[in-house]
Structures are given as C-alpha cells and as structure tokens.
A and B are shown apart, each in its own frame.
Chain A
C-alpha cells in the first residue's frame, strides 16, 4: 500500500491543494488591497464629482418618516443617495425623484442584496413636512425611498458638511403657508462606510447616474 509512487502522488495532491488555497488567498488579498488602495483614488470615467478623500460625517440626529433616528450610523452598510428638498416643491423635487425612480428600476440589484443603495429625501422644510407627509410623498415615487427631517439645527449640521444650501423666500402676504424654499439640487452619494463620496450636480440624467454609480460601486466596493 505504501509504495513510493503512491506517496509522491499524495504529496503532489497536497501541494496542489496548498497552491490552490494560497492562490485564492492571494486573489482575496490583492482584491482587498486593490479596494483599499482605491479609497484615496478617483474613479476614472465618471462625470459626477468624486471626492479624492471621502469625508467622514460629523454627528447629526434627524428622524426618518417612520420615526427612527437618522444619524451617521444609519448611513453605514450600504451606498446612499441623499436629496434635499421639500414636498411643496412642485417642479424640481418630483422631477428629480422621478429620475431616481427610473435609476432604481434599472439597478442590477434588488432591495436587501449587497450593493443595493438607499435613497433619502431630506426635507429642509420641517414646519410643513411632517413624518406622515414625507412618508406618503416619498413612497409615491418608490416604496424604497425614505423621507427624513428634523430640527433645523440638526439639518444644518448635516447640510453644512455636505455643501448643501437652502433658504426660505420671504413668506407670501396673506397666506404664509405658500412660501418657497430654495435649495441645492445636487444629490450626495454616501459610501457604505457612511462617508460623503460624491456630488451629483444637475442636470440629472437617469442613465448617467446609473452608469456612474455602477462604476463607483465596483471601484470602491460595497463595504
């Protein structure tokens, strides 16, 4: 049973197994290395503005439309798009949310799968936008979209670090519920480590956002 020939073939098999494992390990290491290296690089070939160094978010406490806290921790674990607006905005906010809805329809992933992003519509008009209003507003566009708002102080803590701006037009005479809110139209892309990674300025085009997002995901990874 224990001929020299058999022993050498056993050694060979063992060697092959060891080689295969170290190759797999090597690939894993180099991929990990590759992704970590990419963290401080700018993904080539995208039109949106990618930050060379992803920006950590400082604390803020807002609430989702389901009454859950919305903090920097909420943004960890998946890519997130943030869009700032208000529900009484009839033109640009619904237009942008419809565009994001067409992005969502074409995403290669489904809710719950790795790499599947989230979208938060953050109201900078908490006086008029209750959680209930935001919930039915965002779900109208896509059941996955979530509304967020909170105290203006906390909204400011978030928007100031993202370079988002907003302000109120002087309230209309007669009916002070009719005022307009001016706001940045850029979408902010947050990476799965909860850091600001990119700014998507208008004009927003669904196919371009989709293509750029896929490149970004592949380049920086889903973790």
Chain B
C-alpha cells in the first residue's frame, strides 16, 4: 500500500468512524451519537439521522438498548412558553425523506441507564420498523463539541404542533 493509498484509506476509515452509517435495505442511519452525560443522571439523549430510501412511509415501532431500561423518541417543542418533550409513539419517516434527531428537537431518550457510559464508549441500540425490519446501530458517546453550540427548540415547530404568534414554522422532516 503506497503512501497516498494509505492516507486515503485512513481518511475513509476516519470519516466512517466519525459518522457511522447503518443500513438495512430501505433505511439508512447516519450521524448517530450521544452526548456524554453527567455521571449522576441516568437519562441520556441520542441523536441520529434516519433516511428512508424507499417509496413508502416507514414507522419506528420500537427501540431497545441493553444499557437502558427503555428508549423512546421525543420531540422537544415549545408550547405555552414552556418546552415539552412530546413522546412520539410511532415516529414516521416519510418515503424518500429523512428524520433528523438533533439537540433541541427530535431526540432519542435513553431512560434508566444500567451502568455508567463515558465518552469514547458506544451505546448499542436496536430499532424496529413496521416493515418487519430491524437495524442495530451504535451511538458513539462523545463530549459535546463545538457542533452543538446552539439550541433551537423554541421558534420552530413541526409535526402536530400548532404555530402562532411570532413563531416560524418549518417541517421537521427534511428532504
């Protein structure tokens, strides 16, 4: 392996490490990660981007992790001037679209941590979908970095939320 190839290989490997991709036919999951949480708390958040490559909508029916008692998907929304975490029972990823889980918006809520999880470790998670498929992913636990300098929960709303006042409305599903 010559030098250039080695660099290319290393770069590819690095980019894979930085943003793991998990695929099961119609679904691809990228950018999965979890911010390291203060050791004293037993809940953590998980973020990822779920791509639906198929021509039909797909719903998430369950999420499990052996490191947590239960896993839910929540959406952080502003309602009556307070932030609510609204549990999404069967989050749908529209055909050919993407569901983005990111700080201050949709997030995986990892509840009841069974043992401490530190930056550098991985959280295994299994997502099951209504097309019968399931997909195993891992969330690299990271110290939150510069990428997360911003919270954006309040002024945007999507999904089933009613928008009023000075709020800007945008669909949470990106194309």
Chain A residues in 8 Å Cβ range of B151: 92, 95-96, 99, 185, 202-204
Residues of A participating in the B interface, judged by any CB pair closer than 8 Å: 87-92, 94-96, 98-99, 102, 132-133, 136-137, 140-141, 163, 165-167, 169, 175, 178, 180, 182-185, 201-207
Contact A94 B82 (CB under 8 A): no
Given A91-B107, A202-B155, A203-B154, verify A185-B149 contact (CB < 8 Å): no
B82 adjacent to A90 (CB under 8 Å): no
Q: Which residues of chain B come closer than 8 Å to A167, judged between CB atoms?
A: 82
Interface contact A92-B76, CB-CB below 8 Å: yes
Taking a contact as CB atoms closer than 8 A, the residue among A98, A178, A182, A204 that contacts B84 in the complex is A182
Q: How many residues of B contact A (CB 8 A)?
A: 37
A91 touches B103 (CB 8 A): yes
Give the residues in chain B near A203, CB-CB below 8 Å: 104, 150-155
| Complex interface residues of chain B between 131 and 159 (CB less than 8 A to chain A) | 144, 146, 148-155
Contact with A along B14-58 (1 / 0, CB 8 A): 000000000000000000000101111111110000000000000
**Chain A residue contacts of B150, Cβ below 8 A:** 99, 203-206
Contact B43 A184 (CB under 8 A): no
Given contacts A184-B82, A201-B154, contact A140 B144 (CB under 8 A): no
Q: Does more than half of chain A's interface fall in helix, strand or loop, or is it mixed? A: mixed
- Nearest Cβ on chain B to A167's Cβ, whole angstroms: 7
Q: 10 closest pairs, A vs B, by CB? A: A140-B38, A202-B154, A90-B45, A203-B152, A136-B40, A95-B103, A90-B43, A182-B82, A182-B84, A91-B107
Bound form: Cα–Cα A141–B80 in Å = 29
Q: How far is the CA of A88 from the CA of B84 in the complex (A)?
A: 13
Question: Cβ of B81: which chain A residues have Cβ within 8 Å of it?
Answer: 163, 165, 184
Question: Contacts A182-B82, A185-B154, A202-B154 known; A95 to B148 CB distance under 8 Å?
Answer: yes
- Give B149 Cβ to nearest chain A Cβ, in Å: 5
A208 (CB) vs chain B CBs: closest residue: B150
> A220 CA to B60 CA in the complex, in Å?
52
**A/B interface sample: 17 pairs, CB < 8 A:** A90-B110, A91-B45, A94-B35, A94-B144, A136-B38, A140-B39, A141-B38, A167-B82, A175-B112, A180-B84, A182-B83, A184-B83, A185-B82, A202-B151, A203-B153, A204-B151, A206-B150
